A = this chain, B = another copy of it.
Amino acid sequence: MRILLIHSDYLRYKTKSKTKIAEKIEDEKKGGEFDNALVVFTAVEREDEKDADAIIESAVSEIMNVSSQVKPDNVIIYPYAHLSSSLSSPDAAKNILKGMESKLKEEGVAVSRIPFGWYKSFEISCKGHPLSELSRTITVKPKEEEKAEEEPS
């Protein structure tokens, strides 16, 4: 799994058109606005299908770790295929994204999950402090998480 965490003044989104792998959604999920949000752009990878539970746990632990530092009011799981060239199946991706949402809820986090498989417009405002853009590679072995990507370029 590759994640890109952006600490944002706001995130707004609207669903536009469906792709053939679009998740069925209620009307209230067709748009949203969140302030002081940690937006977690997430690409679920083929490798993650081997141990979904471990990946969910590891991703949530990393998100909680960043949250404890930047103190967002909202955590947003935003599916983002463009972070990887080795994607999982759409079903595996949906299950893992939903698993992350559930586990973060259990931890008491105000979490929202953005619909999967839709073209969406969005607006985001990245705060620009040193922890406001971080990327991580999440693997089943936490030791292999990449920790050296905090510098912009």
Contact = CB atoms under 8 A, between A and B. Distances in A.
How many copies of the polypeptide does the oligomer hold? Answer: 2
Given A125-B123, A130-B17, A152 B85 contact: no
Given A122-B125, A125-B122, A130-B17, A153 B85 contact: no
Interface residues of A, number: 41
A93 interface: yes
Nearest to A94: B153
A82 B119 contact: no
Interface of A: 4, 14, 16-17, 19, 21, 43, 79-83, 85, 87, 90, 93, 116-130, 132-135, 137, 146, 149, 151-153
* A-B complex: 4 closest residue pairs judged by Cβ atoms: A121-B128, A82-B135, A81-B153, A16-B128
